Amino acid sequence: MHDLDRASTRRDWLVRAAVCSLLPVALPTLAQPAGAAFHPTRSVRIVSPQQAGGSTDAILRPLAGKLAELWGQAVNIENKPGGGSIIATQTVVQAPPDGHTLGLAINSLTINPSLRSDLPYDTLSQLTPVTLIGSVTVALVVHASLGVDDLPGFVAYAKAKPGAVSWASLGIGTGGHVTGELLARRAGIDMVHVPFSGSSGAYRELLPGRVQAAFVVLESALPHLRNGTLRLLAVTDPRRNRQFPAVPTLAEHYPGLGYEGIFGIVAPAGLPPALLRALHADIVKILGDPEVREQLERQSMDVIAAPPQEFAQVIRREIEHWRVAVRESGAKLN
C-alpha cells in the first residue's frame, strides 16, 4: 500500500466529523455572545490567487455581489496570480485584520508548505480561517484528437509517446499539478507539465490541441465535452460524479489518488473574535441565498459553509494529505 493510500483513509475527505482536537491556528475563540455585525467603512477586497475570467471568478462573483448588497460597500475581486498562490496569500497575510481584506483559499494554500521551503509566511499561524465555502469536482480531460476514451487508453497512448504528451494544470502548487505528477509516476508515463495561472490560460492551449490533457474544474469543461472537443477520463473526487456516473474516479484506477477542490475564505491573523463571528455569519447568510446557491451549484460546487473551527481542521488535514502526495509524486517548482 502506498503512503498516500493510508493518508487518504485518515483524511476523511474534508468535512466528515473530526475526532482529533483542534490545535491553535491563529483562530480566536468563538465562544462568546452573538450579535456582532460587520460594518465596513470602505470597499472590501477578496484576493484571488488565479487569473480573472476563470472558474474561480465564476464562484467568487455571486458571493461578492451579494456581500456588497449586504454591507453597503463595494466588494472587489482582486486577482493576484503567480507564485503558486503565494503572492495572493502574502497580500492577505500583510493586510490589517479589520475585515477589509479577505482571501480565497484553494488547494495550493495547503500544498505550498510541502512544496516550498521558503514560504514568506506560516500558513497556520498567519491566517484566520473564516468559512469553508465548499468543494468542486476536478476532472481529467483530454483533447478528442488523441482518440482515447478512458484513462487506461490515455496511459497507453502516453506510454507509446514518451515525452510527447503535455498536460496542463491551473498553476504550480495546485492540486492538479501534484496529482498529475503522481499519476505519471504511478502509471509509469513521461509527460510534460504546462502550468497556467487559471483555467482561461489552460483552455487557450487545450482547446486547439496544443496541450493534450488538463486537470480543470468539471463545470468549466462541460461546453467542450458536449461539443466533442474534449473527453472526460476521470474525476478526482472520492466518489463518482452524479452528472457522469459512468466516468470513474482516479482512485478506482490508482488507489489513494485524487482530491477535492476546496474553496474557502481566510483573513489575516489577529482578527478580533467578534469580527470573525460577523464575517462568518454574513458569508453563511449569502451562501444560503437561493440565487447564490444555484449559481455555485452550477459551477459543480457542493456548498458546505463550514465554520472557522471546522475549516481549520480541514486545513490541517489537507496539509498532511499533500505532504504525503508531494513526497510520493516528486513534484517540483518547475
pLDDT 10s digits, 95-113: 999 999 999 999 999 999 9
Q: What is the pLDDT of residue 84?
A: 82
Residue 84 · residue 112 · CB < 8 Å = yes
Q: In the structure grid, which three cell numbers stand for residue 320, read together?
A: 498532511
Which grid coordinates belong to 255?
488507489
What average pLDDT does the segment 190-198 reach? 92
Distance CA 109, CA 171 (A): 12
Q: How confident is the model at residue 53 (pLDDT cuts 50, 70, 90)?
A: confident
> What is the rounded CA–CA span in Å between residue 12 and residue 74?
38
Residue whose C-alpha cell reads 472537443 in the numeric block:
229
* Partner residues linked to 267 by β-bridges: 128
Which domains are delineated in the chain?
3-135+260-329 (3.40.190.150), 138-253 (3.40.190.10)
Cβ-contact 326, 117 below 8 angstroms: no
Neighbours of 96 (CB within 10 A): 10
Write down the pLDDT at residue 300.
82
**Beta carbons of 261 and 137 less than 8 angstroms apart:** yes
Task: Give mean pLDDT, residues 201-224.
Answer: 95
Contact predicate 46/102, CB 8 Å: yes
Q: Are 292 and 1 in contact (CB under 8 A)?
A: no
- pLDDT computed for residue 17 by the predictor: 35
Angle, helices 308-329 vs 108-115, to 10°: value is 50
303 confidence band (pLDDT: 50, 70, 90): very high
**pLDDT band at residue 55, thresholds of 50, 70 and 90?**
confident
Residues 66-99 have pLDDT tens digits of: 999 999 999 999 999 888 889 999 999 999 999 9
Q: Please, are residues 87 and 48 in contact by the beta-carbon 8 Å criterion?
A: no
DSSP 144: G
- The sign of the dihedral angle between the CA atoms of 104, 17, 273, 25 is negative
Residue 278: pLDDT above 70?
Answer: yes
CA distance 70 to 79: 22
